[in-house]
Structure 1
Amino acid sequence: MQTNKSRATPLGIIEGFFGREWQWEDRTSYAEFLVQQHYDFYIYAPKSDKFLRTQWQQDWPTETKEKLVALRHIYSEAKIEFGVGLSPHEIYLDNSRDQRQQLKRRIQQLNDLQPDILCILFDDMRGDIPGLAEIQIDIAHEAAALSSAQRIIFCPTYYSFDPVLEKVFGKMPANYWQTFARQLDSTIDMFWTGEKVCSPSYTREHLLQVKELIGRKPFLWDNYPVNDGAAKSNVLQLRAFDQSHGQLEGKLSGHAVNPMNQAWLSKIPLASLPIAYQQAQDYSAQNAFHLICEQLCGAELAQQLTEDVHTLQERGLKNLDQHERLILRQRYGQFPRNPFAKEIIDWLDGVYTFDPACLTE
């Protein structure tokens, strides 16, 4: 994976959230944005794409696949690496020859996109199964052998110390993570979200502990600023990344950010991550937020966002009465051609609704 020359850690985004997905024009425009902000990769893995999840055995309809081929070309032209995330939904519950043949055929279909990155994702699936790690490792190895992608990233069913994972997906088998350290090919990366599914920060001690546990540096799946959960779907996460992100260089094999359902507003926090890596100990999240808002949104809207960020991010939609919503709607209606303001108005109007398929936060 090619990396921005000023750092060792590749940075990118993974479109991996529940709820309203991005439009194709959003995905297309992000190629230029990622170049401007010195990101390295984009991974297509929306939870709403059933051909990557519950119907993973089937190829996309012709129109969708043509759009993906075109999207891959746009990212290639921009020199941003393009990835795809396959979630072979509970394939390990029926580990039969037929299922393996379907996996082989699906990987070959994904090769049509010529992805630079292939993710094999076992998150959001039942996990209380004996020998789960061994089965998943075997599937990951088979997918890696079949894929034309240069980098393989694996997501385990239990990808954090967060107890919510066992609460929702069943008790984790004994020695689950240690088995990956012993048996998973060392060239395959592993996603990890931190102490929690949605971790606000990452300590050096935690990342070293995880490295020892899984036998490699974790590939961070950063669930900020994603807002698809039951509570977070109520807010817009606009603030810059936490100060701890300025201390992550050298501790990860990669850093993938899961953005919000709002593609334009996601750009505000996303633009701060490369700054954190560049400035390291000198990084100030507050300064980055103000600077980015002005650069992306213009001075007038930036001032408004600075005044309202607490309301939008801490209070949230459910805690606003009708009068407060009306005032905000009028306030951002003063920017009729601004896509950032339009997404705030859509959010106020209830366009972005919680998807109950999201079981963790």
Structure 2
Amino acid sequence: MMPDLGLVDARFGRIWSEEERSYVVSTLAAAGYTFYHYSPKADRALRRDWRQPHSAEQTAMLGRLSAQVRATGMRFGIALTPVGSTHPFDDQARADLARRVADLDAIGVDDLAIFFDDLRGDMPDLAARQAEVVNFCAGLTKATSVYTCPTYYADDRILDVVFGERPANYLADLGRLLAPDVQVYWTGEEVCSRAIGPAHLARVARELGRKVCLWDNYPVNDGARMSRFLHLRALTGRDPANAVHISGHALNPAVQAHLSCIPALTLPMLYRQGEDYAYGAAFNDASRHLLGDDFAARLQDDVLLFQDIGHERLGARAERLRDRYAGIDHPAARDILRWLKGDDIMTDEEVQTQ
């Protein structure tokens, strides 16, 4: 069984160029993906400055993106993170939300998402206020589907450490109060889950009162720690039997657009092949399809260095890698060279200001 597959472009770090995003859209559409949700943390008009409209230039770019995504047959969505709208959810918040939802509708969205991830959660009646905001937006939008991401979007206790202790019965209350057709993103037992299985998903569905849409934090590599690695290997630890327990499965991509497509192509393979899926063979197939035999063979030899050793421990091997990929005329090779140079390495300060 093949679930609804998508990309939730919701990471920290630099925003992809139009050329990069266009490549990702066309590549994933050809592989069978069905939706693309745009919500990079660095887009301030969707997050910290959400009450302000996008500039004319940004609006035109999003219009072009919407047209391209829809032309491939995929659904296009935009996610708004309305910081400060829940407490208080007053007349001003309602007016600002109504205006911004109208702005996004005018761009052209099939899916509207309202996100509360990475926001403080130790506030009174959190689930009720968040559900009220989502339901309000759902009643206004022309989009045919509405998604949300809770503040506590995983079982992982690190969320309680960073954003405050989660309220008792938060997930059950949120599910009970949200409109029945709102889809809820969920990352699993951890923020970056090493494994996701049917038993966990069935338990969350019972608690929430609906199937979740998986927000799979792979191959994402944002933040001060993860940006020092390139996540290239095929998907592992995702049970094909998950398909009956979810409404969809979306990957959160890496900073490197072209390289992200290698593991992204293995997601439909996982569901299509079921018990016959082998992640090594899937990586070989995806990388050869996208890069050609020679480039893919080089990358296979160096996966350990990129994904496990990491930027800071490469030492003298960094120069060899630069020489090894400098002669390849391919955007994915330029992704690697940019990373080796340190251009995509992030700091804690960069994350905290997005």
- TM-score range for the pair, normalised by the shorter chain length: over 0.9
- Equivalent residue, structure 2, for 1:117: 111
TM, length-normalised to structure 2:
0.96
Match of 1:341 among 324, 333, 350: 333
> Are the counterparts in 2 of residues 243 and 284 from structure 1 also a CA contact under 8 Å?
no
Distance 1:294 1:219 in 2: 30
Matched, 1:350 2:338: no
- Equivalent residue, structure 1, for 2:293: 299
- Equivalent residue, structure 2, for 1:94: 88
What are the within-5 Å matches in structure 2 for residues 246-265 of structure 1? 246-265=240-259
Segments of 4+ in structure 1 off by > 3 A? none
- Equivalent residue, structure 2, for 1:85: 79
The number of aligned residues is 351
TM, length-normalised to structure 1:
0.95
- SS across alignment from 2:77: strand
Query: What's the CA shift for 1:351?
Result: 0.8
Match of 1:143 among 124, 137, 140: 137
Query: What's the CA shift for 1:243?
Result: 4.7
Query: What's the CA shift for 1:83?
Result: 0.5
Query: What's the CA shift for 1:114?
Result: 2.0
Q: Note closer, same or farther for the CA distance 1:204–1:245 as it changes in structure 2 (3 Å cut).
A: closer
Q: Quick one: which amino acid aligns to residue 348 of structure 1?
A: L
Distance 1:303 1:29 in 2: 22
Query: What's the CA shift for 1:31?
Result: 2.6
Matched, 1:186 2:180: yes
- Equivalent residue, structure 2, for 1:174: 168
- SS across alignment from 2:232: coil
Distance 1:238 1:120 in 2: 29
Query: What's the CA shift for 1:294?
Result: 1.2
- SS across alignment from 1:220: strand
What are the within-5 Å matches in structure 2 for residues 219-230 of structure 1? 219-230=213-224
> Are the counterparts in 1 of residues 212 and 246 from structure 2 also a CA contact under 8 Å?
yes
> Are the counterparts in 2 of residues 18 and 358 from structure 1 also a CA contact under 8 Å?
yes
Among all aligned residue pairs of Structure 1 and Structure 2, give the percentage whose two residues are the same amino acid: 38
Q: Quick one: which amino acid aligns to residue 235 of structure 1?
A: F
> Are the counterparts in 2 of residues 243 and 276 from structure 1 also a CA contact under 8 Å?
no
Matched, 1:241 2:235: yes
Distance 2:241 2:346 in 1: 33
> Are the counterparts in 2 of residues 90 and 126 from structure 1 also a CA contact under 8 Å?
no
> Are the counterparts in 1 of residues 69 and 75 from structure 2 also a CA contact under 8 Å?
yes
Query: What's the CA shift for 1:8?
Result: 4.9
- Equivalent residue, structure 1, for 2:319: 326
Deviations 1:19-42 (A, max 9, x none): 122111111222321221111011
Q: Quick one: which amino acid aligns to residue 252 of structure 2?
A: N
Distance 1:207 1:300 in 2: 40
Query: What's the CA shift for 1:91?
Result: 1.4
Alpha-carbon RMSD across the aligned residues, in angstroms, is 1.2
- Structure 2: segments with no counterpart, 5+ residues: none
> Are the counterparts in 1 of residues 120 and 151 from structure 2 also a CA contact under 8 Å?
yes
Deviations 1:286-323 (A, max 9, x none): 110011111111111111111100110011001111x2
Distance 1:229 1:247 in 2: 31
Distance 1:315 1:55 in 2: 37
Q: Quick one: which amino acid aligns to residue 304 of structure 1?
A: R
Deviations 1:237-291 (A, max 9, x none): 0000015343322110111110000000001000000111111111111110011
- SS across alignment from 1:239: coil
- Structure 1: segments with no counterpart, 5+ residues: 1-6
Matched, 1:37 2:18: no
> Are the counterparts in 2 of residues 117 and 149 from structure 1 also a CA contact under 8 Å?
yes
> Are the counterparts in 1 of residues 62 and 107 from structure 2 also a CA contact under 8 Å?
yes
Match of 1:131 among 122, 125, 130: 125
- SS across alignment from 2:37: strand
Distance 1:183 1:44 in 2: 26
Q: Quick one: which amino acid aligns to residue 93 of structure 2?
A: Q
> Are the counterparts in 1 of residues 197 and 239 from structure 2 also a CA contact under 8 Å?
no
Q: Quick one: which amino acid aligns to residue 341 of structure 1?
A: A
Match of 2:65 among 60, 71, 82: 71
Distance 2:296 2:2 in 1: 32
Query: What's the CA shift for 1:94?
Result: 2.9
> Are the counterparts in 1 of residues 15 and 42 from structure 2 also a CA contact under 8 Å?
yes
Deviations 1:55-101 (A, max 9, x none): 10111101110111111111111111100010001212332211111
